[in-house]
Amino acid sequence: MFDVISIGSATADVFVHIPKTFSSKDMCVFHPGTKVDIEEMDYFTGGGATNTSVSFSRLGLKAGALCSVGDDASGIKVLNVLRKEKVNTSLVHTLQGKNTSYSVILTGFGKDRVVLCYSKATASLGETKLDFTKLKAKWFYITSLHSKPELLKNIILRAKKTGARIAWNPGQKELSLGFKKLKKIVGSVDILIVNKEEALKLTGSADIHRNLEKLLELAETAVITEGKHGAHAANDTYIYSIKAFKIKPLDVTGAGDAFGSGFTTAIIKGKGIDDALVYGTVNSNSVISHLGTKNVLPTEQGIKIFLKKYGRPKLKRQKI
């Protein structure tokens, strides 16, 4: 029995550090025929299932990952990283004749990163024959599935059948289904985590408080992150808001996975929403200060050290 199973994607990530001279206003510009001398390049693994399962493991939980990789060098690297981080890999599927999903992340030019994703004809859960009876955990953490709605529905049904609690950070494929269809598929989960843009896509509103109340139709606890402006969470009684730390980001890739897994870990350990927001904020702010989606994810002791260095962030609470 796992404390938590992370469900979603696994990728090979290449981080390419682009000089700032190639950015213009809100764009990154490359003219045809130009030769670009890059400043740095790093290879890591990523994807929602691997990022969050490593985070859970570092924070002391018994974690497993449900994802699919190809029978290539990248797939082997994903498995090796998970094992090194003490994440159980018995639910990781290696698909013969497939490549592991691949992303090139352009970063370092002073603005948000640009992600080039290659997922066509690569290994994914959507084309994997899954034995749902093997999913046994106290919590399911569901990330982007890149699949048809049936997979999400089957995971939700398995969780409810076994009494597992659910934390859900939907991807673009799931969000594109719309609020009504998602409500029909998932009913109500324990925790729903989205960013400000994703909340807007679901509700059509840019008002954070109004969106939190609307999202409570899908979850007991709704969370909306706002990047450098912090994060917000709500239950049926209160809305909580927390400020982000004043840390200059190097790359924001993986911040959402780090926040969501940190927040959920605190809830799993019996802490309140206020502490969960702190865990999530520390986790995400640690990740964005380095390249890679999980290289500097803190342990429980690491969170204490981080808070001792930067102080506890300001948190507000108000009644709904």
* 3-state secondary structure string across 196-242: HHHHHHHHCCCCHHHHHHHHCCCEEEEEEECHHHCEEEECCCEEEEE
For residue 216, tell me if it sits in a domain: yes
Write the pLDDT tens digit of every residue in 238-282. 999 999 998 888 778 889 999 999 999 999 999 999 999 999 999
For residue 153, tell me if it sits in a domain: yes
Number of domains in the chain: 1
For residue 29, tell me if it sits in a domain: no
Domain that includes residue 313, residue range: 2-21+39-319
Matching residue, tokens 């509103």 = 205
Q: How confident is the model at residue 22 (pLDDT cuts 50, 70, 90)?
A: confident
- Tell me: pLDDT of 26 over 80: no
Cα gap 104→57, rounded to integer Å:
26
Q: Which of 22-31, 132-141, 170-179 has the lowest mean pLDDT?
A: 22-31
Cα gap 60→55, rounded to integer Å:
9
Q: Which of 73-87, 112-126, 134-148, 251-265 has the lowest mean pLDDT?
A: 112-126
pLDDT, mean of residues 185-191 = 96
What average pLDDT does the structure give for the chain? 92
Exposed, middle or buried by CB within 10 Å (0-12, 13-18, 19+), for 106?
buried
Q: Hey, what long-range contacts does 301-305 have (CB within 8 A, 24 or more apart)?
A: 302/58, 303/59, 303/278, 303/279
The β-bridge partners of 70 are 95
Q: Note the pLDDT of residue 247.
A: 86
Neighbours of 220 (CB within 10 A): 15
- Tell me: pLDDT of 111 over 70: no
pLDDT, mean of residues 1-28 = 87
For residue 95, tell me if it sits in a domain: yes
Q: How confident is the model at residue 18 (pLDDT cuts 50, 70, 90)?
A: confident
For residue 26, tell me if it sits in a domain: no
pLDDT, mean of residues 180-188 = 95
pLDDT, mean of residues 225-243 = 96
Q: Note the pLDDT of residue 110.
A: 61
Q: Which residues of 79-92 are buried (b: 16+ CB within 10 A; e: fewer)?
A: bebbeebebbbebb
Q: Which of 38-42, 109-113, 139-143, 183-187 has the lowest mean pLDDT?
A: 109-113
Q: How confident is the model at residue 49 (pLDDT cuts 50, 70, 90)?
A: very high
Q: Note the pLDDT of residue 256.
A: 95
For residue 28, tell me if it sits in a domain: no
Q: Alpha carbon of 63 to those of 86, 104, 137, 260, 279: distances in Å?
A: 8, 27, 9, 15, 17
Reduced to 3 states, what is the DSSP secondary structure of residue 165? strand
- Tell me: pLDDT of 121 over 80: no
Q: How confident is the model at residue 303 (pLDDT cuts 50, 70, 90)?
A: very high
For residue 238, tell me if it sits in a domain: yes
Q: Which residues of 156-191 are buried (b: 16+ CB within 10 A; e: fewer)?
A: bebbeeeebbbbbbbbebbbebebeebeeebeebbb
For residue 286, tell me if it sits in a domain: yes
Q: What are 244's two structure tokens?
A: 């982000």
Return the CATH number at 151: 3.40.1190.20
